[in-house]
Structure 1
Amino acid sequence: MSRAYKFWQLIGVSLAIYSTVAYPQSISVKPDLARGKAIANQVCISCHSAEGSGATGLGPNLAGQHIEYLYKQLGDYKAESSAKAPKRNNPIMASFASVLSEQDMWDVSAYFAALPERLAVAHNKEMAELGQKIWRGGIAERGVPACAACHGPAGAGIPVQYPRLAGQWQDYTIAQLQAFQQGARVNNDPMQAIAERLSEKEIKALADYIAGLR
């Protein structure tokens, strides 16, 4: 069996595993953008800014993100009765998410999803080129599939299943890959497995390339 065949077989398996990650299949209520804006202005903008781009690079760029993905992440910050900790363990976000109803979650997710995209930029040509290689082709010898296989060639993602990554802040991408790698973020098993196979340099390279994706 050739290395190329094994690699593409791995991508197929990865995609199959990704498809088992629990995402809402449809929007269960009619989102109210005005109400979502009101919630955002009350509790979200101090960290995520009025534009949804994040007050600092450590906060995610939410503007234009898929509504279903945002909804799921809010749910993952909430503690489950059968779990010791939420799937995304962040005390600040947990305190906000815990008081949101299902309607609130859809409303605020719809508001951020409707905002115009605010895009970061790549800073280091050499690192971005390495990131591009991993994004497009993965790392076959370590079982790392191409990021584009799930997130799309231009990082647009797929609504319901995969987040839009194009233009995300470098620091935030690095922090999330490290959280997957170290087991601090446990709401996506395939991403944990993939992140564990990446070096620190590769994580930084991917983050820089992602920031410049359009």
Structure 2
Amino acid sequence: MTRVSLVTALILGLGCTTAMAAESSHAAQGGDAAAGKTKSAVCAACHGADGNSTNGEWPKLAGQHASYLENQLHAYKSGERKNPIMMGQVMSLSDQDMKDLAAYFAAQPLKPGVANPDLAKQAEALYRGGRAEAGIPACSACHGPQGAGNAAAGYPAIHGQHAQYTAAQLKAYRSGERAGTDMAKMMSQVATELSDADIEALASYLSGLH
């Protein structure tokens, strides 16, 4: 990584830390995975019984950090993150329900996908080194070398996710459609500089990263 991209990554990383610290007020503590399994029956229709959805439009929840899952449920309920289906699903959830669901899905093993080898070289360079001339930091600066994120800092795991879902979210960040939370605003700054080709390559690469 060049000095410029490293500095950019650190600056953005510090901003992400501040943003995620604010969003971590609902850190998933006291969740009961067994209770969450019972409560997850309605979630299974889209996300799979074990959090490994089979439809690329719907994200895999398995293995995601519990605190991040809980934060996203709160964001849907407050309207900070908008999705008509999810907003309807969370309205009746209590804080404890969210903790339990987050604990259950976090405990499930993630089933990764397979990356397109033709796109891997381009994506890996961007993921690990960023693009200094465009001010794009390395994705690994926040999400780690294997895409596992950092639970303590609040950074989500992004490895093994459906390429279709990841691409859709990056485009939503880029357009500003997904910018309701502080963390989303940070991601929007990064995604603004990503081309469609960048997004396609990164999404494929991440699906097979584990």
- Which amino acid letter does the alignment assign opposite residue 200 of structure 1? D
CA distance in 2, matches of 1:147, 1:29: 27
Summarize the alignment of residues 14-93 of structure 1 with structure 2, pairs less than 5 Å apart: 14-21=12-19, 22-24=22-24, 27=27, 29-41=29-41, 43-79=42-78, 86-93=79-86
Deviation at 1:6, TM superposition (A): 2.6
- Which amino acid letter does the alignment assign opposite residue 73 of structure 1? Q
Preserved CA contact (<8 Å) 1:174 1:204 = yes
Deviation at 1:25, TM superposition (A): 5.5
Closer, same or farther: CA 142–64 of 1 in aligned 2, 3 Å: same
Deviation at 1:165, TM superposition (A): 1.1
Percent identical = 42
Deviation at 1:88, TM superposition (A): 1.4
Preserved CA contact (<8 Å) 1:46 1:55 = no
Larger radius of gyration: 1
Contiguous gaps of at least 5 residues in structure 1: 80-85
Secondary structure in 1 matching 2:2: helix
User: After superposition, what is the alpha-carbon deviation per residue over 1:153-172, rounded to whole angstroms, capped at 9, x for unaligned?
Assistant: 01110004111111111001
CA distance in 2, matches of 1:196, 1:26: 29
Q: Tell me if 1:144 matches 2:136.
A: yes
Contiguous gaps of at least 5 residues in structure 2: none
**Which residue is 1:153 aligned to?**
145
CA distance in 2, matches of 1:17, 1:151: 14
Closer, same or farther: CA 131–28 of 1 in aligned 2, 3 Å: closer
TM-score computed with the length of structure 1 as normaliser:
0.90
Give the count of matched residue pairs: 204
TM-score computed with the length of structure 2 as normaliser:
0.92
Deviation at 1:119, TM superposition (A): 1.1
- The answer to which of 53-62 and 16-25 deviates more is 16-25
Deviation at 1:26, TM superposition (A): 7.2
**Which residue is 2:8 aligned to?**
10
Q: Tell me if 1:95 matches 2:88.
A: yes
**Which residue is 1:208 aligned to?**
204
CA distance in 2, matches of 1:40, 1:28: 16
Closer, same or farther: CA 179–73 of 1 in aligned 2, 3 Å: same
Secondary structure in 2 matching 1:73: helix
Secondary structure in 2 matching 1:78: helix
**Which residue is 1:82 aligned to?**
none
Secondary structure in 2 matching 1:20: helix
Deviation at 1:28, TM superposition (A): 6.3
Preserved CA contact (<8 Å) 1:88 1:184 = no
Preserved CA contact (<8 Å) 1:23 1:68 = no
